[in-house]
Amino acid sequence: MITLRCATTNPGKLREFRAAAAHFGHGNIAIEPVQGLGGLPAPVEDGQTFEENAVKKALHYSAYAEEPVFADDSGLEVDALGGAPGVYSARFAGEGATDAANNQLLVERLRGVEDRTARFVCVVALARAGELLGVFRGSVEGRIVDEPCGPHGFGYDPHFFYPPFGATFGMAEPARKMDVSHRGQALRAMLAWAEAHL
């Protein structure tokens, strides 16, 4: 059994990480949070890209675990907003902002804007004892809708319409979303690499 530690306190992400291991057939990989993560000093996420932040977090937290540690940085890029909220997706409406506040600001910024194209991006970095093992990226194209739809997912999912499904990510069943999502793509690549090399 391979154990990978994840550097997140976000229960939605942890749930998706564990579901991905099972969904993509990596039952021999256990995903656990970094022990005592909430009490550890956090790195400053001042990178200008998802890659920079993911690598910074993975390297930082890998010093606190015996097993390899992975960290993700992910978010929404909206073309009409010049790629915003981008690396600021979780704090678009300010530090400690709720999903509802971020979504409300997004809809307000796009009021009257015709171009609604957007993409979700996820970068996962894997490190062990301060050494970077790999960086894995996924992205998925869609468009932003004003009205939130669907009980599933978290973050911007209810406002992210994915044309091949004819539905928002908030309406998609978690397993179906995992097959195409940005996080699913990046995790699938990382899990395959981990099984082959660890």
Pairing relationship of beta strands 131-144 and 2-6 according to DSSP bridges: unpaired
Place of tokens 């097959």: 179
Which backbone phi and psi does 14 adopt, to 5 degrees?
A: -60, -40
Task: Report in angstroms the alpha-carbon separations of 177 from 15, 19, 77, 152, 167.
Answer: 13, 11, 18, 10, 11
Number of H helices, E strands in the chain: 5, 7
Helix (H) or strand (E) holding 107: helix 99-109
Specify the 3-state DSSP secondary structure of 6.
Answer: strand
- The catalytic residue among 46, 72, 73, 79 is 73
> In this structure, what token pair is assigned to residue 142?
């869609």
Q: Single out the residue of 57, 64, 3 nearest to residue 30, CA to CA.
A: 3
Q: Single out the residue of 27, 25, 34, 28 nearest to residue 6, CA to CA.
A: 34
Does the annotation count 73 as an active-site position?
Answer: yes
Specify the 3-state DSSP secondary structure of 49.
Answer: coil
Hey, which residues are catalytic here? Answer: 73
